[in-house]
């Protein structure tokens, strides 16, 4: 019933993932309208989105949906909105997030920048998954922990700032949409 008359080609769908057909502004408006249709107050939905955005700054890739849902439940936010908020962490943003979080954590812990070290995050995550699946904790603490610990510490300031910023931005936007909707009904 709601399908396109002409199915989009694979290339068109891939291009729309990188650059939406109607532009980023229209895509953003569409996301706000979708969020506004969720059940709950603008505060609950904004809290859910904020939890998803903030969790995207943690190094626990693969657990973002679950962690976002748990934090949304704790702050009484919308759990579905938290899942949508995790889209802030995606293949385009993760490299920047991981590097920022790692170096911030190293600075907080007093490690500073270790000269000549380059972190291959894909290799680290691959080794981490292997270590956890085989219960090889010596490998985990030898190879993964020196990178995971600074990332865990470094994500805290990013978590707080991103939660507050996204909460207030989405709360304001959703309240404006709700007020506009009330005005049309009256």
DSSP 142: I
Query: In this structure, is residue 19 part of a structural domain?
Result: no
**What is the helix, strand, coil percentage profile of the chain, to 5?**
70, 0, 30
Domain membership of residue 16 (yes or no) is no
Return the DSSP state at 3. S
pTM over 0.75? The answer is: yes
**In a domain? residue 27:** no
Q: Residue 50 in contact with residue 77, Cβ under 8 Å?
A: yes
- Model confidence at 185, pLDDT cuts 50, 70, 90, reads low
Short-list 11, 140, 157, CA closest to 97: 157
Asked if residue 94 is part of any domain, the answer here is: yes
Instruction: Give a yes or no: residue 93 inside a domain.
Output: yes
Residue 68 in domain: yes
The residue segments making up the domain with residue 163 are 38-185
For the chain, the domain total comes to 1
CA angle 8, 10, 16 (to 5 degrees): 75
Decide if 135 is inside a domain: yes
Query: Nearest Cα to 66, choosing from 46, 52, 45?
Result: 52
Residue 132 domain flag: yes
pLDDT digits (tens, 9 = 90+) for 41-74: 889 999 999 999 999 999 988 899 999 999 999 9
């Amino acid at each position: 019933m709601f399908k396109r008359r002409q199915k989009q080609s694979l290339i068109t769908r891939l291009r729309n993932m990188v650059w939406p057909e109607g532009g980023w502004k229209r895509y953003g408006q569409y996301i706000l309208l979708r969020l506004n249709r969720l059940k709950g107050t603008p505060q609950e939905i904004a809290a859910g989105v904020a939890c998803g955005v903030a969790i995207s700054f943690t190094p626990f890739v693969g657990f973002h949906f679950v962690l976002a849902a748990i934090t949304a439940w704790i702050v009484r936010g919308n759990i579905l909105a938290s899942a949508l908020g995790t889209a802030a962490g995606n293949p385009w943003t993760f490299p920047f997030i991981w590097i920022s979080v790692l170096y911030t954590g190293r600075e907080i812990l007093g490690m500073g920048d270790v000269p000549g070290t380059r972190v291959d995050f894909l290799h680290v995550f691959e080794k981490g998954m292997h270590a956890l699946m085989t219960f090889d904790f010596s490998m985990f603490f030898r190879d993964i922990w020196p990178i995971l610990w600074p990332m865990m510490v470094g994500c805290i300031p990013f978590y707080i700032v991103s939660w507050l910023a996204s909460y207030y931005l989405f709360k304001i936007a959703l309240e404006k949409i709700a007020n506009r909707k009330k005005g049309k009904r009256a």
